[in-house]
Amino acid sequence: MIGALIVGLARFLVGGRPEWVGSLPSGLPRIYFANHGSHLDTVLLWAAIPEHYRGRTHPVAAADYWGRNRLTRAVSLGVLRSVLVDRRGGAAAGTDVLKPMEDVLNNGESLILFPEGTRGTERLPGPFKSGLYRLAERCPEVELVPVYLQNLSRAFPRGALLPVPISCGVRFGAPLARLPEEGRDAFLERARNAVIQLAEPA
User: Is the separation of the CB atoms in 192 and 132 below 8 Å?
Assistant: no
* Per-residue pLDDT at 111: 98
The strand pairing partners of 168, in sequence order, are 15
For residue 17, what pLDDT is reported? 79
Domains of the chain, start order: 15-196 (3.40.1130.10)
**pLDDT at 178 (0 to 100):** 87
Per-residue pLDDT, 196? 95
Helix axes 131-138, 99-106, angle to 10 degrees: 40
What integer pLDDT is reported at residue 39 of this predicted model? 72
Contact 124, 35 (CB under 8 A): yes
Nearest to 119 by CA among 191, 34, 189: 34
* pLDDT given for residue 163 in this prediction: 60
Per-residue pLDDT, 157: 54
Residues of the chain with pLDDT under 50: 92, 202
The C-alpha atoms of residue 27 and residue 83 are separated, in whole angstroms, by: 19
pLDDT of 71 reads 83
**In angstroms, rounded to a whole number, what is the distance separating the alpha carbons of residues 73 and 89?**
19
